[in-house]
Amino acid sequence: MGELWFDDGRLVWHELPREKAPAAPRQTYLGTRARARARARVSPSLSKGGGNHPPPSRSTISAKRRRVGNGSAPKAEKLIHRLESYFAGERVSFDDVELDVDGWTPFQLEVARALRLVPYGEVVSYGDLARIAGHPRAQRAAGTFCARNRFGIVVPCHRVVGTNGLGSYGSLGAEYKRRLLALEGVTL
């Protein structure tokens, strides 16, 4: 299961679902501390959070966003149902989802807008994305934006491919990207 964080009706963070790490074999002869250390060694790259996949923390979410009960539940429920439909293979648009883009540079805003213009079931190269965003020589910077994108499906970086193939998909990897594209009927 992925995670959604909302504030005042704006999406602050969206983490895609990950494969669950295989359960560690139970070893009853280990003490509590040894079992905890053994669990910590089980494939942290597949777990939620952690150094490679941190959710927003108090240091990255402003004080006004730390409030609880800000009335975003109906929008969150609606987005959850849309994401479920998307992962069930239905054509779903997320164009109307309001994003929290406080602190983004004009370049980042332009790349995000350009990404949201790439239609369901189509792909563009990083160079194409930079051109659509109005920065024709900034394909690497567009790629960096995609690698740090915190709105996986809503700002669809999986629709951006390298000129020589699939390209990467950040911490989730190319196979996850391939699966998302396959949901949209794209094979590479």
Residues known to be catalytic: 157
Q: Name 15's bridge partners.
A: 3
- DSSP H or E segment with residue 182: helix 174-183
- DSSP H or E segment with residue 109: helix 106-117
* Token digits of residue 162: 């390298």
Spatial distance between the Cα atoms of 53 and 19, rounded to a whole number of angstroms: 13
Instruction: Map tokens 């730390």 to a residue.
Output: 66
Residue 122 near residue 34 (C-beta atoms within 8 A): no
Instruction: Map tokens 């563009």 to a residue.
Output: 124
